Amino acid sequence: MDVSHILNSLNDAQRQAVTAEKGNLLVLAGAGSGKTRVLVHRIAWLIQIEGMAPAGILAVTFTNKAASEMRGRIEMLLGQPIGGMWVGTFHGLAHRLLRTHWQEAGLPEKFQILDSDDQLRLVKRLLHTLDLDEGKWPAKQCQWFINQQKDEGLRSTHLEHYGDDYNRTMLTVYQAYEQACERTGMVDFGELLLRAHELWLKNPGLLDYYQHRFSEILVDEFQDTNAIQYAWLRVLAGKRGHITVVGDDDQSIYGWRGARIENIQQFTRDFAPATLIRLEQNYRSTSTILKAANQLISNNAGRLGKELWTEGAEGEPISVYAAFNEQDEARFMVDQIEQWVRKGRRRDDCVILYRSNAQSRELEEAMLRVGMPYRIYGGFRFYERLEIRNAMAYLRLVANRDDDAAFERVINTPVRGIGNATIENLRIIAREQRVSLWQASQRAVAHGLLGARAAQNVGGFMNLINQLEEYSTEHELHLVVDYAIKQSGLIQHHEKEGGEKANSRLENLEELVNAAKAFAMETNANDSEPSNAERLAGFIDKAALDAGDAQADEHEDAVQMMTLHSAKGLEFPLVFIAGMEEGLFPHKMSADSLEGLEEERRLCYVGITRAMEKLYLCHAESRRLHGEENFSRPSRFIKEVPAELRQEVRMKGQINRATSWHDNAAAQASGAAGSGGGIRLGQRVRHPSFGEGVVLSCEGNGNNARIQINFDAVGGKWLVAAYARLEAL
Ligand code: ATP
Ligand code: MG
């Protein structure tokens, strides 16, 4: 059989992995070395050469997007569909199993998924019922506790409080939460995994079936599996199954969600005998980008250790842009992309990566201003929610009767006896007379083109909208929203629906009233007093923007935007990393512990290694975030990229600023933290008054060298190295 198309364009190590005899296999390799490619080719190999049925294969990827890409690539290699094969994320696969075997899993047939916002609201309600003070026991913290336990595979019955007040309270909340979910048939994300695991344990017959069926299991991004996912795989693979995993310890970025790098080390023990294959050639990036990534990540301790090389060109230096503020930063990136497009390149090839979702707003506005198409990945946002979209549709009709999309959305939501036939009639009239649905309705009612009942109901709907408008001219925005959600019947509709999901929809609608209040306050602070109609229009725009309605169509050539976390596994010729500032990236939540900091550094490594040709690192000297102005120093990660690989960019007309810190960058690692003082990053030290701690970072050199230390007793502190009287331990 001709297998050249599967084996061509693989290097020796890759080919070895693809053609390895059936058994357990671990491919451990750095970014862009072809791990995902190996998985795809191995699956094709198993089907074509080993003669396996696609249905016998289970592949796990990290995102749904990756899953559909993987399927596409395999089908391309094989030239045939692989319908029966299961490809998906852990959550997606667990969901599929539970939908099929809901009875065995002890779930109601129509169980509902609780997303993270829903979950938080439920926890809040429970705290209230339990009479716990939210000030003392923040809902977020309880939610986090619950998810953490589930990720470890622990139910409340598995836990002890050992008389500890904190544990006792958390446990009480967890128990109440479990009961509420059980009672209402709700399943959160962690529960999907936990139930799917229990499904195996409680139903040996079922497990046996799937063990026979999936004799080959393949997992991408293995470094980010958590305890419960690992356990699930282990049980499924059983004694007979074979499992191939690929991963990179340097790209483990979900420790905060329970991912365990140790799973990689444990793999060769738990799945013995297992073959280990390393890939060392990078095919993705220029040598400049690769060197930068290698250097950056070498600041982490306890790595499994690997060095990547490339035959690729040196490429351009890495550009660093110091912006005045976030607007300047956004404008700069948009400018660079415009130049790129002028050179005949595609927008699709550009990505802007950021640490926090909140950063996307400014970028979107900058793109909208110049009419640059863009697309944002990930993040299910408030204004995307069904109930919010419905409520907004009423407001949109108030602002503009000819908004057909809004009309279609709510003419019969909630149900008001306007059937499909009537709506279809209205569409026909609108099309024939070239008018909006609203105008069509007016004519239909006026000229008796509808049945009596339909005419009455359509008329009622139109009255409702007119009434809302009248109200809106005389009342504040949040009152208008409140009036709209009540008069439209949306509130009553969800109240009748009942259940946990409905509760959370009701709360979201209340939240919309708050959002309107906040919006009105903002606009009052900014501008001259806008009219009620202007304010309503502004609010509608804001919602559209937040819901991603301004985004490019699926097939349009558009700039990509996403968080660093969701960029895992992807690659782009042109990459911008925005917001490279201390406090933002590394994020302040993670910067106080060495593990947290190292995870942020891995995230930066992921970001840098997405770039194929050109990389920009941007930071702003001042930035407004969550309503506050912040002045931050540039991220230490910029300085961890060797100075000779970096180049500072300036925009025309930009005021010169001191660049000294950039040039000190190289000295930073070798200066204060160098061998001279015997102090290095990650080192344990003792301070005469603060006690023992760990060195988190160093800056500057000579007499100005500063060291950040996380002290066991007093937390993070910056000290001047020359005066710190530190003792290395
Ligand atoms: P990541 O760690 O970021 O997920 P990866 O190890 O999965 O990266 P791939 O995405 O599989 O790497 O491959 C990176 C790029 O290199 C892809 O564009 C891929 O097509 C290309 N590539 C991999 N191996 C080869 C090869 N032998 N010849 C040519 N191109 C290759
Ligand atoms: Mg990959």
For ligand 1, whether the C-beta of 283 sits within 6 Å is yes
pLDDT in tens, 54-81: 999 999 998 888 888 999 999 999 998 8
The per-residue pLDDT for range 446-470, each reduced to its tens digit, is 999 999 999 999 999 999 999 999 9
Catalytic residues: 35-36, 220-221, 251, 610
- Which pLDDT score is estimated for 606? 98
Side by side, which strands form the sheet with 242-247?
86-88, 57-60, 216-219, 242-247, 24-29, 274-279
Q: What's residue 668's pLDDT?
A: 38
pLDDT at 547: 74
Q: Are 175 and 217 members of one domain?
A: no
Ligand 1, pocket-test mutation among 37, 38, 221, most atoms within 8 A of CB: 37
Give the burial string for 467-490 (b: 16+ CB within 10 Å, else e): ebbeebeeeebbebbbbbbeebbb
Say if strands 628-631 and 684-687 run parallel, antiparallel, or are unpaired. unpaired
Q: Are residues 521 and 592 in the same domain?
A: no
Poorest-confidence range of 180-194, 258-272, 280-294, 536-550? 536-550
228 band by pLDDT with thresholds 50, 70 and 90: very high
Whether 105 is in a domain gets the answer no
538 is a domain residue: no
1 C-alpha vs ligand 1 centroid, how far in Å?
26
Residue bearing the CA closest to ligand 1, atom 28: 9
Specify if 106 maps to a domain. Answer: no
Task: Find out whether the beta carbon of 247 lies less than 6 Å from any atom of ligand 1.
Answer: no
Listed in sequence order, the residues at least 6 apart from 537 whose beta carbon sits closer than 8 Å to its beta carbon are 399
- The pLDDT score that the predictor gives to residue 54 is 95
Q: Last residue of some domain: 627, 649, 671?
A: 649
Nearest CA to ligand 1 atom 9: 34
Are residue 139 and residue 85 in the same domain, yes or no?
Answer: no
Whether 668 and 703 share a structural domain: yes
**Contact present, 174 and 156 (Cβ < 8 Å):** yes
Residue 253 shares a structural domain with residue 345: no
- Tell me which DSSP letter residue 316 carries: P
Do residue 568 and residue 637 come from a single domain?
Answer: yes
720, 705 contact by CB (below 8 A): yes
Instruction: Report the CATH number at residue 140.
Output: 1.10.10.160
- Cα–Cα nearest to 293, from 661, 645, 570: 645
Average the pLDDT over each of 312-316, 541-545, 688-692 and give the range with the smallest value. Answer: 541-545
Q: How large is the average pLDDT for residues 6-30?
A: 93
CA of 51 to the centre of ligand 2 (A): 25
Distance 36 CA to ligand 2 centre (A): 4
Q: What pTM was estimated for this model as a whole?
A: 0.77
pLDDT for res 678: 59
Question: Residue 395: which CATH number?
Answer: 1.10.486.10
| pLDDT confidence of residue 487 | 96
Q: Which of 603, 526, 38 has its CA nearest to residue 279?
A: 38
Please check whether residues 200 and 91 belong to one and the same domain: yes
Model confidence at 511, pLDDT cuts 50, 70, 90, reads confident
pLDDT of 656 higher than 60: no
Quick check: is 297 in a domain?
no
Could you tell me if 362 and 492 lie in one domain? no
Q: What CATH number is associated with residue 619?
A: 3.40.50.300
135 and 94 together in one domain: no
Q: With helix as H, strand as E and coil as C, how does 128-175 read?
A: HHCCCCCCCCCHHHHHHHHHHHHHCCCCHHHCCCCCCHHHHHHHHHHH
Residue 32 CA to ligand 2 centre (angstroms): 7
Please indicate, yes or no, if residue 308 is contained in any of the structural domains: no
Higher pLDDT, residue 614 or 403: 614
Peptide bond into 586 cis (omega under 30): yes
Ligand 1 proximity of 635 Cβ (cutoff 6 Å): no
CB atoms within 5 A of ion ligand 2 belong to 35-36, 569
Where does a domain end: 253, 281, 309?
Answer: 281
Per-residue exposure over 358-394, b if at least 16 CB sit within 10 Å of its own CB, e if not: ebbebbbebbeeeebbbbbbeeebebebebbbbbbbb
CA torsion, ordered 283, 285, 289, 293, to nearest 10 deg? -50
Dihedral class, residue 499 (left if φ above 0, else alpha if ψ from -120 to 50, else beta): left
pLDDT at residue 657 above 60?
no
Enter the tokens of residue 519: 């919006």
Ligand 2 centroid to Cα of residue 31, in Å, is: 7
**Ligand 1 pocket: which of 10, 12, 36 to mutate (most atoms within 8 A of CB):** 36
pLDDT in tens, 706-726: 788 888 887 777 787 777 788
**How far is residue 659's CA from residue 650's CA, in Å, rounded to a whole number?**
11
Instruction: Give the per-residue pLDDT at 332.
Output: 95
For residues 29 and 222, the answer to whether their CB atoms sit within 8 Å is: no
Note whether 239 and 94 are same-domain residues. Answer: yes
pLDDT tier, 306 (very low <50, low <70, confident <90, very high otherwise): confident
Q: How many domains would you assign to the chain?
A: 5
- pLDDT reported for residue 514: 83
Average pLDDT over residues 525-536: 78
- For the segment 229-276, what is each residue's pLDDT rounded down to a tens digit? 999 999 999 988 999 999 999 999 988 888 888 888 899 999 989 999
In three-state form (DSSP H/G/I as H, E/B as E, the rest C), the secondary structure along 407-421 is: HHHHCCCCCCCCCHH
Q: Which atom of ligand 1 is nearest to the CA of 251?
A: 2
- Strand 24-29 to strand 318-325: parallel, antiparallel, or no bridges (unpaired)? unpaired
Q: 309 CB less than 6 Å from ligand 1? A: no
Do the domain assignments include residue 139?
A: yes
The DSSP-derived string for 461-487 is HHHHHHHHHHHHHHS-HHHHHHHHHHH
The mean predicted confidence, pLDDT, of the chain is: 88
Both 455 and 346 in one domain: the answer is no
Pocket-testing residue among 11, 27, 283, 603, ligand 1, by greatest number of atoms within 8 A of Cβ: 283
Residues 402 and 520 in one domain: yes
For residue 307, being part of any structural domain is answered with no
Residue 584: inside a domain, yes or no? yes
Domain boundary among 592, 625, 649: 649
Structure tokens that stand for 466 in this block:
């007119």
Q: Alpha-carbon distance 640 to 294, whole Å?
A: 10
Given a contact cutoff of 8 angstroms between Cβ atoms, the answer to whether 67 and 47 are in contact is no
Sheet holding 691-699, edge to edge: 715-720, 706-711, 691-699, 684-687, 727-728
- Write out the residue range of the structural domain in which residue 600 sits: 318-378+556-649
Tell me the CA distances in angstroms from 361 to 330, 365, 523, 581, 662, one per residue in order: 10, 6, 17, 18, 29
